[in-house]
Structure 1
Amino acid sequence: MAGSLLLLYVHGLPKVFHFSEELTRIEDPFGMGPYFSLIPAIIAEVICPLFIILGFGTRIACLPIIGVLLVAMLFVHPGWSIAEGQFGWLLLIIFTTLAITGPGKWCIGAGKQREWRHGIDQ
């Protein structure tokens, strides 16, 4: 959850609150235009962290985040040293681990997930 809060606060909310300004400065590594580069970033940095914080669809919510982080680290900032890109690489490690392991039993949605799984098993 801490990784989601950091991603939301540091990257996601500024993109939403300063949308027009972000359109003028967002990198466009694949030539799709700023709008089609900014919207996936907002989904990955605002919507997905909220799902993870709430404990719903955690593994699936990690996938867009991982995708945006990989694009940022490999295509937008390929020349960054480990020191310059450490925040991005750490987030990539956190969300990849979360995608593999799942949210755990302490997440908010854990009770619903257990109920759903037990209903299937019966």
Structure 2
Amino acid sequence: MNLLRVNQDSQTTDLALLLLRVGIGVLMLTHGTPRLLVLLSDEPIRFVSVFGMSEKVSFILNILAEFFCSIFVIIGLGTRIASIPLAFVMAVAAFHIHLHDEFSIQEMSLHFLLVFVVLFLTGGGRYSLDYWLQQRVLARF
């Protein structure tokens, strides 16, 4: 591998998308899983109310994104669609929840936001269920 050459190999790009999807999805699951466990337990919900929604509604919508959409991103099923709520949650975290915090606090949300925007633009790549399903559907026509 020549490190100075611009790589236009789609197999390498697809492998990079797989690593990006799985890596960022697992990292986001570490945020969503504890919240899901709180929801399923008797613990009181302590969460920020955003856009006039109750704490509980905000919490549940956050779990839907951070837990369930993360699983879809990991397996590459509806990658572009699943990236939208994840990007939205991260935008809210960065620009609403942590608006007046130091950049070092906002930074993690911005990193996640950037990756989910990239996945929205690129899709899941060849090593995703999206690709496999697309090939199966197109093969019928």
Map 1:1-122 → 2, pairs under 5 A: 1-9=22-30, 11-19=31-39, 20-21=42-43, 23=45, 25-119=46-140, 122=141
Deviation at 1:62, TM superposition (A): 0.4
Which 4+ runs in 1 deviate beyond 6 A?
Answer: none
1:15 and 1:22 in contact (8 A); partners too: no
Comparing 26-35 and 49-58, the one that deviates more:
26-35
Identity of aligned residues (%): 31
Alignment length (residue pairs): 118
In structure 2, the gaps of 5 or more residues are 1-21
Q: Distance in 2 between matches of 1:100 and 1:28?
A: 30
Larger Rg: 2
2:99 and 2:106 in contact (8 A); partners too: no
1:8 and 1:45 in contact (8 A); partners too: yes
Whichever residue aligns with residue 99 of structure 1, its letter is F
User: What is the root-mean-square deviation in Å for CA atoms of aligned residues?
Assistant: 1.6
Whichever residue aligns with residue 124 of structure 2, its letter is P
In structure 1, the gaps of 5 or more residues are none
Q: Distance in 2 between matches of 1:3 and 1:107?
A: 15
